[in-house]
């Protein structure tokens, strides 16, 4: 099963820039989207143009039009959909879960869009509240032994290798020690695995976001803030992971690049909890 996550920075704008053509070549089985910034009809039109009109869609819009919005789109039907995290943040367009039945058994897929935040402001307080809710959800899933993948834009670079200019961002939201500590906790004892980092190894990046401005993309001065976090069971089935960076600035259809992971779900049953 190929799972692709992408912050599209507005699905209609991404479609105009070439996302539809990219999707035809990417061949996802599950596609998770962040910053959709569209209603169900507008999202449905883009998916239909990409040949995915018959796929299952779990989509929640942001509270304000033109902001946020996340979706899980899959070839397999959804058996259940949950918006928000355990009754919190349900109207912000930042968290949606879809349960699937796959050849390896049940699988939960999450599309998440964490707040940008701003150090020493109320925006950062809200970001921490959202991260606290995620932590509780991940703890429960880990305790249950669930097969689950949390995908999306977490707006946190975990390590120095995850952003080019880490020294210049030590006091900025996205690389604050308090934010990075959340990921430390999630990855403790491999309860959750950063699949892209595990497969890439100890290298710079590969980054997944670059500013539209200046020469950030051309100079690869980016941040790695888009993730696929797999539960212990699921992580053992990941076979291939990469960031699908556009060849040139002109070929970008978002300021983010998709993160692609191929999972061998036929192996999932072998890693079921005893």
Record: fold of 2-264: Deoxyribonuclease I; Chain A (3.60.10)
Task: Look up the pTM and report it.
Answer: 0.96
One pLDDT digit (tens) per residue for the chain, 274 residues: 999 999 999 999 999 999 999 998 999 999 999 999 999 999 999 999 999 999 999 999 987 777 899 999 999 999 999 999 999 999 999 999 999 999 889 999 999 999 999 999 999 999 999 999 999 999 999 999 999 999 999 999 999 999 999 999 999 999 999 999 999 999 999 999 999 999 999 999 999 999 999 999 999 999 999 999 999 999 999 999 999 999 999 999 999 999 999 999 998 877 666 5
What is the full DSSP assignment across 155-218? ----SGGGBTT-GGGTTSTTS-HHHHHHHHHHTGGGSEEEHHHHHH-SSS----B--SSTTTTT
Rounded to 5°, the CA angle 64-11-22 comes to: 165
- Sorted by where each begins, the domain ranges of the chain are 2-264
């Amino acid at each position: 099963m190929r799972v692709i996550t992408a912050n599209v920075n507005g699905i209609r704008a991404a479609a105009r820039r070439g996302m539809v053509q990219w999707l035809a070549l990417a061949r996802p089985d599950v596609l998770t989207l962040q910053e959709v910034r569209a209603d169900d009809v507008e999202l449905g039109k883009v998916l239909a143009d990409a040949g995915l009109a018959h796929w299952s869609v779990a989509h929640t819009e942001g509270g304000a039009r033109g902001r946020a919005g996340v979706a899980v789109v899959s070839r397999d039907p959804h058996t259940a959909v949950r918006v928000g995290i355990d009754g919190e943040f349900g109207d912000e367009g930042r968290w949606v879960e879809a349960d699937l039945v796959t050849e390896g058994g049940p699988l939960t897929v999450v599309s998440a869009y964490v707040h940008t935040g701003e150090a020493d402001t109320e925006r950062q307080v809200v970001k921490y509240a959202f991260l606290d809710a995620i932590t509780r959800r991940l703890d429960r899933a880990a305790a249950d032994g669930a097969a689950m993948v949390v995908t999306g834009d977490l707006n946190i670079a975990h390590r120095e290798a995850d952003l080019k200019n880490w020294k210049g961002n030590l006091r900025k939201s996205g690389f604050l020690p308090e934010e990075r500590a959340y990921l430390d906790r999630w990855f403790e004892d491999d309860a959750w695995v950063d699949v892209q980092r595990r497969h890439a190894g100890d290298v710079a990046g590969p980054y997944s976001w670059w500013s539209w401005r200046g020469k950030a993309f051309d100079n690869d001065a980016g941040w790695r803030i888009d993730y696929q976090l797999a539960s212990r069971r699921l992580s053992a089935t990941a076979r291939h992971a990469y960031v699908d960076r556009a060849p040139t600035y002109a070929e970008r259809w978002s300021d983010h690049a998709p993160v692609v992971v191929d999972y061998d779900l036929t192996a999932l049953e072998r890693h079921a909890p005893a």
